[in-house]
Amino acid sequence: MKIVYTFVPSPNHVYPDHPERPARLDVLKPRLNSFDAELIEAKPATLEEIALVHNPQLVASLEKVCREDAPGIIDHAPTYVTQSSFDDALLAAGGVLTCTREVLNGNANNAFAIVRPPGHHAEPDRAMGFCLFNNVAIGARYALANGMDRVMVIDYDAHHGNGTQAAFLEDDRVAFLSAHQWGIYPGTGWIEDAPHAKKRIVNVPLPTRAGDKAYERVADEIFTPFVESFKPQMIFVSVGFDAHWNDPITSLGLSTAGYLMLAKKVIAFAEEHCDGKIVFVLEGGYDPVNVANGAKAVFVAATGKGESDARDPNPHREPDCESRIAEIRNWHGF
């Protein structure tokens, strides 16, 4: 089983004291050579590829603010830009596209785009939530333009993937599921968000400290019927390592073992339904050790080799999520 990855650390996309910073990847970077995976060079996305998701007016205005007014803050999240950020965002989206092409053409079984700035909050008409372009949505649309009829995005970053949901709200070719902490930024992602798209747009808002046990039940009782219902030909995963129990800006309860479990389960879905076609895309995660351990878990699951050696169980008591899971299953008819 061959896995490829792209690595786009964007060292010049940095702002003082901001949690979304290049140092997120500092622990991971020296470990990358130890994984049984092939590094491939990311090529920047073209403006036409960005326009698969984003309004050209947004792209032009973002380029202008980066070139002329950066560095600066562009929204309340706060999202920042530097003079390199436009090019960095093109390369981050391109890192996902490079991985997508390798999987589509059969050069790799699966792939992992380790890129920043992240993307899943970026909506078609606005950058927001630390995100400039929606990398995973651009990859999904590219797959649709290159032979796929049905693709799926599963998002288990701690925050709701509002931008991905917005991109595909009316696109029946794409199914989207987000499992996230309820009550934090961006404040969207309730169960009944998209009543016209039941079974295709699925939100799993979880309470504080929901961890490995809750996520395993979510994977078995919600991810599984979601995938079986839609029957995707390719799966993209927005993987944010900020759902780890000690992430500095969230308060969920996953451990590295939980991330390994989730990666194995979504890879199994891809093997069953998509001839193994799956692309993981890095989103959040603001503790460098968690990012490194979580990324290793993805590589271990994807290659079937090695083992996750992190021992970081959640020290907090998990809430009972049974009623929430039942509510979601009932809403969608799963």
Query: Could you confirm whether 121 is annotated as catalytic?
Result: yes
CA dist 213 and 208 (Å) reads 13
Per-position DSSP letters for 108-131, written without gaps between them: -SEEEEEESS--TT-BTTB-BTTB
Contact 200, 175 (CB under 8 A): yes
Contact assessment for residue 213 and residue 189, using Cβ atoms and an 8 Å cutoff: no
**Beta strand 72-73 pairing with 80-81:** antiparallel
78 upstream amide cis, omega within 30 of 0: yes
Cis previous bond, 117, omega within 30: yes
Q: Are 174 and 202 in contact (CB under 8 A)?
A: no
Catalytic residue among 13, 54, 121, 273: 121
Residues 6+ apart with CB under 8 A from 138: 45, 49, 50, 52, 53, 54, 93, 96, 97, 119
Neighbours of 197 (CB within 10 A): 18
For 22, 114, 150, 259, the CA distances from 8, given in Å and listed in that order, are 10, 6, 28, 22
Nearest-angstrom CA–CA distance, 160 and 180: 5
Between CA 130 and CA 81 the distance in angstroms is: 9
Residues 212, 216, 222, 223: is their CA dihedral positive or negative? positive
| Pairwise CA distance, residues 299 & 216, whole Å | 19
User: In degrees to the nearest 10, what's the CA dihedral of 102, 220, 288, 43?
Assistant: 20
Report the candidate in 110, 143, 105, 104 with the shortest Cα–Cα distance to residue 4.
110
Catalytic sites, residue numbers: 121
